[in-house]
């Protein structure tokens, strides 16, 4: 991977077997990455990056100002989110297997005595994972019929810079675990986004056209998702 220095801005450059050049600014720090065709020389890529400096700085400012969630300690009356709704955590210690129960306004976390914050977080994350695995199959089935595509497999994991990914050869999509905390329409937007990649690999005009066709309000859902508070730590999108 090469790097370009544009004043105080560093741009990571990855060249690969693609037709077009793509620019991305990643949360949470505003890291910049350009994906460019193998045939394109660095001078041309630099000119492209310079032409986008105003947009890059705007995106970096937006990310810098984005609201951060408070660091979680997994204690009583701490705020946690599920499906876009805020819940208060209720921790109960008992000598039994851990479990999580969702109530009207609380997430009840049952743990063994002296369970530390790291383990409590792990238990809650596994509950989030199970909830996503319960929800996603029906979304995939719905959109398979609309798009006339097939998803062979899906998985849930923590990711560094993306809400989701799609493996075209395996017809497998991966979804970010954090989506369990976001509104239902945010999750559905990401599922649709990744499934559209089964029809179009790149984020080109055809991809946008397909998104417009299948989900006309996708830009609204995208903006809403990116406006939501993000994790305190260096989170994995």
CA 227 to chain centre: 12
pLDDT of residue 56 exceeding 80, the answer is yes
Query: What are the distances in angstroms from CA 58 to CA 52, 106, 115, 169?
Result: 10, 38, 43, 36
Burial 78-116 (b: 16+ CB within 10 A, else e): bebbbbeeebebbbeeeeeebebeeeeeebebbbeeebe
- Tens digits of per-residue pLDDT, 62-84? 777 765 666 789 999 999 999 99
Confidence band for 233, pLDDT divided at 50, 70 and 90: very low
Comparing C-alpha atoms, which of 214, 185, 181, 180 is closest to residue 197?
214
Question: How many other β-carbons are positioned within 10 Å of the β-carbon of residue 215?
Answer: 21
The pTM is what? 0.75
Sign of CA dihedral 159, 161, 164, 165: negative
Distance CA 131, CA 201 (A): 29
Query: Which CATH superfamily does the domain covering 79-227 fall into?
Result: Metalloproteases ("zincins"), catalytic domain (3.30.2010.10)
- Parts of the chain belonging to CATH 3.30.2010.10: 79-227
For residue 41, the model assigns a pLDDT of: 93
- Tens digits of per-residue pLDDT, 111-147? 999 999 999 999 999 999 999 999 999 999 999 999 9
Distance CA 142, CA 77 (A): 37
3-state secondary structure of 165: strand
């Amino acid at each position: 991977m090469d790097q370009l220095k544009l004043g105080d801005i560093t741009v990571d450059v990855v060249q690969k077997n693609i037709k077009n050049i793509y620019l991305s600014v990643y949360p949470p720090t505003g890291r910049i990455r350009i994906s460019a065709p193998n045939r394109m020389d660095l001078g041309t890529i630099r000119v492209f990056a310079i032409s986008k400096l105003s947009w890059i700085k705007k995106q970096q400012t937006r990310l810098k100002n984005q609201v951060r969630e408070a660091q979680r300690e997994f204690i009583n009356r701490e705020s946690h989110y599920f499906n876009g709704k805020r819940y208060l955590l209720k921790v109960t210690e008992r000598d039994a297997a851990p479990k999580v129960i969702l109530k009207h306004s609380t997430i009840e976390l049952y743990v063994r005595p002296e369970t530390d914050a790291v383990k409590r977080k792990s238990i809650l994350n596994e509950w989030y994972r199970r909830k996503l695995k319960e929800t996603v199959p029906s979304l995939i089935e719905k959109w398979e019929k609309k798009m006339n595509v097939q998803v062979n497999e899906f998985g849930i994991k923590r990711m560094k810079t993306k809400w989701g990914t799609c493996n075209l050869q395996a017809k497998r999509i991966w979804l970010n675990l954090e989506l369990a905390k976001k509104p239902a329409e945010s999750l559905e937007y990401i599922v649709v986004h990744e499934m559209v990649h089964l029809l179009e690999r790149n984020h080109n005009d055809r991809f946008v056209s397909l998104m417009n066709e299948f989900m006309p309000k996708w830009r609204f859902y995208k903006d809403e998702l990116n406006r939501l508070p993000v994790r305190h730590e260096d989170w994995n999108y």
